[in-house]
Structure 1
C-alpha cells in the first residue's frame, strides 16, 4: 500500500492534530480477516465484534474534531474477494479556523472481486471553518464500492449556522487504473448565500452524496429515487464492465437528512445493512 503523505508537526506546533491510520484485510477460509493495522497520532481504528459478513472498522479522531492546521489520513486496503465496511465513531466536527485549513485524505484500495462500504457519519461544519478532503479510490476488476459523504453546515437545534467559511470535497474513483468518477464540491466563503441558491441546495443546510459502483446498481435506481424523493436526485451510468449509481440529497437539517440516509444505505449495502454505530 502506498502511503499518503501528510505533515508531521514539530513540538512548536503541538496544538495541531496529526494522524495516520492504515487497515488492510484479506479473504481467508471464507471470511474477511485483518491483515494489517497501523495507527499514529490522533487517528485510531477499532473493530466491533462481528460473527459474519464483512469486516467492520470504526475510525476515531481522538482530537475530538478538526480545526485549521489539523491533518488526518485514512488508508484502507481490501484484498481480493474480501469485504469491509468502514464508519466513524461519531460525526466529525470541523471548528472555526484561526488560520490554515483542516485537511483529511482518504485512500481506499479494493482487490479483484472485493467490496468496500465507506460509510462515515456526517461531517458537521461550524461557522468560519476551513476544510479540505480528498478521497482516492482504486478498484480492481470486479471490485465494488459503496461510498457516502454527508455534510451538515451548522446545527440548527443548537442555534448554529455555518454562514461563512470554506469547504472542498474532491473525489477520484478509478477501476483498473481508468478514471470512472470525478467530482469537486467547493463552497465558500459565503456558504449561506451559496446554499440558498435554487441550483445548489435551495436553502437546505444538510447535503449528501452517495456513490455505488456495482453490476447491480441499475436495478436499484428506481427504489433509490423513491427514497431520495424531491429533495435530491439519482442517476445511473454503465462504466466498463460494471455500473455506477450516483445519488445526491439535501435537507433542512441533519435529522431530516439522516431519516433518508438510513433506508438508503440499508438498501444499497445489501445484507450487511447499516453499520452498528448508525443505530446507536
Structure 2
C-alpha cells in the first residue's frame, strides 16, 4: 500500500530589525506556508497535504530560529491519525533557537481514531538565553461525532536541551486499552482530551499565577528555576476537544508574548 512520506525544514534569521525567512525546504506531503505578519515573529503554517496519517506514514518537521530571531509554527488544521492496518504513523519534530532567539511550536490538536497507532518524537536545542513555547494537545475520539477510542497505541517522547544541558525529558505511552487507561482516576477520570504546555524562559516565573488562574480545575502548572533560565510546565485535560480549547487558547495567548494566539487557531 502507498504510504505518506514528507519532510520540511525552515530557518528564520534576524535582519534589519525583524525576523526574516532564511531557508525553506519541503518535500512530499509536508508543506510550509508563511502568511504576512505585522509583528517581529514570523508565523509558519505547516500542512500535511495527505489530510491525515495511518500506519506506515512518516512526516518530519525542522524549525530553527537563528540568533535574535523569532518564529511561531502552527498547523493548518488538526492532524488526524486513522486506524492502522499495520505498522504505525510517525512524526519527528526538531526545534532550535540561537542566542536571544525564540521559537513557539503550536500545532493544533492531534485527533486519534480507534485502533490508530502513532509515535511522535520532539527534540529541542536552545541557546542558554533562548526561549521556547511548546504545546501538544491530543484528542482520543471526537465526542461531537460520536467517536470513541477503545484500542490503539500512542507514544510521545520529548527531549529539551538548553545550553547543551538536558532540562526536560518525558516519555508518554498509552495503549493498547486506551479507554480503560483514561478511565482511571489517577489519569484523566475518563476525559478524552489532554494537553501539555511547556515554556522555557528566564521570565516565566512571573506568569505562573496567571496560568494557574486560567487552568482552574482543568489542569495544573508548576515552575522550576534552571540556572539562568526557567521552566513552566502545565498539564490540561477535559471531556472533549471543545472544552479543552478554551483554557488552552487562553494559556497560549498568555505565554506566547506579543505573538499571541496564531490566527488559524481562531478560525
Q: Same fold (TM over 0.5)?
A: yes
| Residue of structure 2 equivalent to 1:69 | 56
Choose which of 218, 239, 253 in structure 2 pairs with 1:252: 239
The answer for the alignment partner of 1:148 in structure 2 is 135
Query: Which residue of structure 2 lines up, in the alignment, with residue 133 of structure 1?
Result: 120
Structure 1's unaligned 5+ residue stretches are 1-12
1:118 maps to: 105
Trace 1:165-244 onto structure 2 (pairs within 5 A).
165-244=152-231
Partners of 1:98 and 1:144 lie apart in 2 by 40
RMSD: 0.7
Structure-2 residue corresponding to 1:9: none
After TM superposition, the score normalised by the length of structure 2 is 0.99
Aligned counterparts, 1:40-79, within 5 A: 40-79=27-66
**What are the Cα deviations for residues 144-184 of structure 1, in whole angstroms up to 9, with x where unaligned?**
00000000000111110111100011000001111000001
- Kept after mapping to 1: 8 A contact 2:39/2:259: no
Structure 1 segments, 4+ long, off by >4 Å, are none
How do 1:158-169 residues align onto structure 2 when only pairs under 5 Å count? 158-169=145-156
Unpaired stretches in structure 2, ≥5 consecutive residues: none
Length, aligned pairs only: 267
- Cα shift readout 1:171-200 (whole Å, capped 9, x = no counterpart): 000011110000011000000000011111
TM normalised by structure 1 equals: 0.94
Task: Report SS of the residue matched to 2:208.
Answer: helix
Q: Match of 2:185, SS?
A: coil
